Structure 1
Amino acid sequence: MKRGRGRARAAPAADAPAAIGQRIELQLERLTHDGRGIGRWRGRTVFVEGGLPGEQVQARVLRARSKLIETRLESLQQVSELRQPLRCVHADLCGGCSLQHMAREQQLEIKQQALAQQLQHFAQVEPQQWAPALEGPAYGYRQRTRVALRWDRGRRELDVGFRQRASSELVNVEQCPVLVPELEHVLTRLPALLRSLDGADALGHVELIGAEHPALVLRHLRPLSEADSNRLQAFAAECELGLWLQGEEANALAVNGALEPAYRLTDQQLELGFAPGDFTQVNPQMNQAMVNQALDWLAPASGEAVLDLFCGVGNFALALARAGAKVTGIEGSAEMVARATDNARKNDLDEVHFLAADLSKPLEVPPGSPQYTAALLDPPRDGAGQMVVDLAALAVERILYISCNPATLARDAGILAGKGYTLVRAGIMDMFPQTAHVEAMALFRRQ
């Protein structure tokens, strides 16, 4: 028996209250910590992507369990006066920005609540002082992005864009208003270029990098033809981008002497170079504000010995050294340690040095190291459980924790509380407006 071309509604599980794809109507009452609307339907809790409190909605079921239904907004019967017009034509599908329909103040409120709830739930702690949210531009802030590429064999066409929400499919993009204008302009022209290439069926992804010495980085899966190489070089030159190509090599290679990308910390009179594959903050205004706040909160004394863990290319370490501290930066990537060392040299900073170490393992302080009285750490999403234990064992007086995941920050805050540390101050940093992503800063002091 042949199946129809349309997607049939999935049969509900034995204990499921609704079928996948079913449309349900409900009134929304409040928001989850990640910005979804919450309501009730037939006695069960329903999460609605794109919904706001006070709205009457029709929503399509994505997942259904016995007590919880997850849905996506289909239509509005009653609209909240707080609903904002969407700035991006792709916002309903794209997985990048899930909160464009929400006022900025409401976005900040749910992010603040998320941090407070996680600290209470995982650590049973509350800061002595809540800092005001650190915020920057709502749009036009992102100076770095990765563009996904996928060859559709059926259509024999290259898809160029971002991943759809909760899907591996791509949204072919025509704009992205959270990008800095220079990169959004490149993005509007990029699909036509890539689809014109003879090797369009063998491309991996593109990364666009702004700031100093902006760059286009292309991952290709087989060697490029001479014609394709010439097209890419001409496009990069026209857009005033350095061209970097990555084939079978582990790292992208500069073409025609493209300069290494860099960014500035203007308030500290610093310029930091980085390779296309290195981690850097994508929001330059917020990065500057974050570094300034870190210096203010940690308040290093002149000559004070400070540890900077997960230091990357020196974002915080060089700023601390510029403020007069004697800094030891530790990072897992030997390549990034080399670039951090080079950044210190180029910025004429002598009181900072870097070393490579696996920070998922117990911290080994080099022999002859000073007594560190302050530490800053900026770990990945899985946090720094081992590191906070080790910092407590070193009796570090002040610990400044930069977090991109409130749950692991809260877990590590609980560890520090058990080791005799007080959470003095905490606050969110809105590094990614229009998204539910929460960055936070927390200052701990040894009792």
Structure 2
Amino acid sequence: MAQFFKAKPNKSKQLSSKLSLKVTQLDHLGAGIAQYQGKVVFVPGALPDEEVTVQFTEQKKSYAKAKLTKIEQVSSQRTEPVCPHYQQCGGCNLQHMALEAQREHKQQALIDLMNKLGGNALDDNKIAPAIKGEGWHYRRRARLATVFNKNTQHLQLGFRQSASSKIATITQCDVLAKPLSDLIKPFAANLNQLKSKASLGHLELTQAENGIFAVLRVTKRLPASDTRWLAEFAANQKITLLIQDNDNSLSQIYPEPLDETSVTLPHYLLASDDNNNQGVTCEFTPGNFVQVNGAINHAMVQQALTWLAPQKDERILDLFCGVGNFSLPLASNAQQVIGVEGVPEMVQQAKANAQLNHLTNLSFHHADLSADLTHEKWLGKIDKLLLDPARAGAFESLQWLHKMRPKKVVYVSCNPASLARDTKVLNEQGYQLTRLGMVDMFPQTHHIEAMALFELTV
């Protein structure tokens, strides 16, 4: 008799019977931690001091993941999520935790990671006050995905679902700036009126100093009737509307541009001193990275200026400089600032920003900062260094620290684990961590950002 292969069920992925566990703490991703038969159990949605009913969703040798089914004893830190999409949307995962409790957790998680992975013994005088701001409506930028259903002929607008590639339809977002949140529902209704709605990509919304901007990605040229419809909608909403095609070219639908190639770019302002005086203007385009929390970004720039204390006779290097977020205000206080970035489009925008602000002591360069930098002309002795890398950190760039020998290093991090790892490299090259501060860039989420100051001691 012929036999056919039949895959065995993956027992590690099957739901277990229900268990009662005591949650003792949170991990750095915001999941509750409990113990069961010698295993660490991670329970998303659970809080410290809660007794919960769970079912295992995944079991490994030393740990397990579990689904929260019931809270038997509620933590004093628990609060009711504000957002009606909280259980579906993957954008936030700590709305069920009181804001100050979130911040206390993030501060301790940062310190624990630095002590454990960075080999530091952090005393209180090295811990800077946390940079924090509003808990809601703080995001000045967001990208919404679109999905067109061929059967219903309906365009869905929203964010990715938690742990899924599917889209959760969104009608509001309480961490978005209020004017942007208020645009979501009318934008969805109007996009569904377009003839070309099947060929629409994502929608990017931005609140800038010079108004509200919307950038609509399209895969095909819009018919004239759709363009007119969108222009009328933008006029009614009093927003600047740009269209971005597959070549990343931008065209302005409303207000009517001066010519076919001109577009209005969003910008934000950065003070270049501790007195919060208006200093520099930073323009950016779709695809350029900018910090989405404007108030926190402003505070970070001010703290970087304070910690680095740039002088008029100093040469300062800004690695992973983006469009000049730190370089521009630094250049107002130093003899020379050099910005280096790995994304060519952002280097071009940074150069344009230097010209916009009439900064002649500021230059920008393109380089792969994870590669061999031996022959880079900008690499050499500097007085001070600022690093603002992506989540992977600055490990490769720090291998060239011996050629730079700055007196001070300010490291802006969006991943405390890579910051802790890179701290070891800095320590080995004679730098001591003298200040560390948590930055609450993304309230209602588990994300932890940090700023660290290192000073040369040998």
Aligned equivalent of 1:345: 355
- The answer (yes or no) to whether the contact 1:400–1:442 under 8 Å persists in 2 is yes
How far is 1:154 from its partner? 4.2
CA-to-aligned-CA distance 1:250-269 (integer Å, 9 cap, x gap): 34333332411111114242
Alpha-carbon distance in structure 2 between the residues aligned to 1:108 and 1:72? 24
Aligned residues: 435
How far is 1:11 from its partner? 4.8
In the superposition, relative to structure 1, how do residues 249 and 37 fare at CA in structure 2: closer, same or farther (>3 Å)?
A: same
Alpha-carbon distance in structure 2 between the residues aligned to 1:147 and 1:22? 38
Alpha-carbon distance in structure 1 between the residues aligned to 2:249 and 2:44? 38
Aligned counterpart in structure 1 of residue 396 of structure 2, from 368, 386, 394: 386
Give the AA of the match of 1:211.
A
Give the AA of the match of 1:191.
A
- The answer (yes or no) to whether the contact 2:373–2:379 under 8 Å persists in 1 is no
Is the partner of 2:114 in helix, strand or coil? helix
The yes-or-no answer on 1:33 pairing with 2:28 is yes
- The answer (yes or no) to whether the contact 1:11–1:20 under 8 Å persists in 2 is no
How far is 1:420 from its partner? 1.6
Aligned counterpart in structure 2 of residue 414 of structure 1, from 402, 418, 424: 424
In the superposition, relative to structure 1, how do residues 74 and 95 fare at CA in structure 2: closer, same or farther (>3 Å)?
A: same
Is the partner of 1:136 in helix, strand or coil? coil
The yes-or-no answer on 1:62 pairing with 2:57 is yes
How far is 1:303 from its partner? 2.2
CA-to-aligned-CA distance 1:258-291 (integer Å, 9 cap, x gap): 4111111142422111111111111110010000
Alignment of 1:275-424 (within 5 A): 275-364=285-374, 367=377, 371-424=381-434
Aligned counterpart in structure 1 of residue 220 of structure 2, from 219, 222, 225: 222
- The answer (yes or no) to whether the contact 1:332–1:359 under 8 Å persists in 2 is yes
Alpha-carbon distance in structure 2 between the residues aligned to 1:280 and 1:367? 27
The yes-or-no answer on 1:164 pairing with 2:161 is yes
CA RMSD across the alignment: 2.2
Moved more, 180-189 or 108-117: 108-117
Alignment of 1:7-406 (within 5 A): 11=9, 13=11, 16=12, 19-20=14-15, 23-41=18-36, 44-127=39-122, 129-213=126-210, 214-255=212-253, 256-257=256-257, 258-266=263-271, 267=276, 268-364=278-374, 367=377, 371-406=381-416
Alpha-carbon distance in structure 1 between the residues aligned to 2:94 and 2:28? 12
Alpha-carbon distance in structure 1 between the residues aligned to 2:145 and 2:305? 37
Give the AA of the match of 1:240.
K
- Which ranges in structure 1 are unaligned for 5 or more consecutive residues? 1-9
Moved more, 136-145 or 147-156: 147-156
Give the AA of the match of 2:167.
L
Is the partner of 2:24 in helix, strand or coil? strand
Give the AA of the match of 2:106.
K
Normalized against structure 2, the TM-score is what? 0.89
How far is 1:62 from its partner? 3.4
CA-to-aligned-CA distance 1:404-425 (integer Å, 9 cap, x gap): 1111111111111111211111
In the superposition, relative to structure 1, how do residues 195 and 23 fare at CA in structure 2: closer, same or farther (>3 Å)?
A: farther
Alpha-carbon distance in structure 1 between the residues aligned to 2:226 and 2:20? 52
In the superposition, relative to structure 1, how do residues 12 and 399 fare at CA in structure 2: closer, same or farther (>3 Å)?
A: same
Is the partner of 1:306 in helix, strand or coil? strand
How far is 1:113 from its partner? 2.5
How far is 1:23 from its partner? 4.6
In the superposition, relative to structure 1, how do residues 186 and 422 fare at CA in structure 2: closer, same or farther (>3 Å)?
A: same
Is the partner of 1:269 in helix, strand or coil? strand
How far is 1:81 from its partner? 2.1
Give the AA of the match of 2:77.
L
Alpha-carbon distance in structure 1 between the residues aligned to 2:30 and 2:243? 38
- The answer (yes or no) to whether the contact 2:111–2:122 under 8 Å persists in 1 is no
Alpha-carbon distance in structure 2 between the residues aligned to 1:237 and 1:418? 58
How far is 1:41 from its partner? 4.1
Give the AA of the match of 2:31.
R
Give the AA of the match of 1:201.
A
Alpha-carbon distance in structure 2 between the residues aligned to 1:224 and 1:348? 38
CA-to-aligned-CA distance 1:30-80 (integer Å, 9 cap, x gap): 221222112234554321111112223233543332442213333322222
- The answer (yes or no) to whether the contact 2:115–2:122 under 8 Å persists in 1 is no
CA-to-aligned-CA distance 1:163-213 (integer Å, 9 cap, x gap): 111111111111101011111111132211222222222222111111134
How far is 1:99 from its partner? 0.5
Moved more, 95-104 or 251-260: 251-260
Alpha-carbon distance in structure 2 between the residues aligned to 1:159 and 1:380? 31
Alpha-carbon distance in structure 1 between the residues aligned to 2:16 and 2:148? 28
- Which ranges in structure 2 are unaligned for 5 or more consecutive residues? 1-7, 258-262
In the superposition, relative to structure 1, how do residues 389 and 89 fare at CA in structure 2: closer, same or farther (>3 Å)?
A: same
Identity %: 40
Is the partner of 1:440 in helix, strand or coil? strand
Is the partner of 2:419 in helix, strand or coil? helix
Is the partner of 2:71 in helix, strand or coil? strand
Give the AA of the match of 1:208.
L
Alpha-carbon distance in structure 2 between the residues aligned to 1:127 and 1:389? 24
Give the AA of the match of 1:436.
H
How far is 1:368 from its partner? 8.4
